Amino acid sequence: MGFARAAGRWTVHEVTNPSTGYCPDTDSWHAVRRALDRVGPEHPGRFTHEVVFRRCEECGERSIVREAEFVCVFCGSELPVAWNAGP
């Protein structure tokens, strides 16, 4: 998350989900939004950069889905549609 201060106020100018530890799904934006709305700074209303994480059920590695291709970059197996990439 990136912050900027202008005209005496803090704003959020960047929010991303690429955390390789937690690997949050893109729908985690709703929790981020609730937290930001509670605290008050203006924010972009969405992730400014987001990635889709999935854990391969064949080899167990976590992959980033690229160009909507749900294929494991490690073993080539199909990745699940539903998020499963948590710790």
Q: Is the dihedral of CA 83, 20, 33, 70 positive or negative?
A: negative
As measured in angstroms, the least distance from the Cβ of 2 to Zn ion is 33
- Does position 72 interact with Zn ion (CB under 5 A)? The reply is yes
Q: Of 75 and 81, which CB lies nearer to Zn ion in the complex structure?
A: 75
- Does position 75 interact with Zn ion (CB under 5 A)? The reply is yes
Euclidean distance between CA atoms 59 and 26, whole angstroms: 23
- The distance between the two most distant Cα atoms of the chain, rounded to a whole number of Å, is 52
- Does position 4 interact with Zn ion (CB under 5 A)? The reply is no
- Does position 56 interact with Zn ion (CB under 5 A)? The reply is yes
Using CB under 5 A, list all residues that contact Zn ion. Answer: 56, 58-59, 72, 74-75, 77
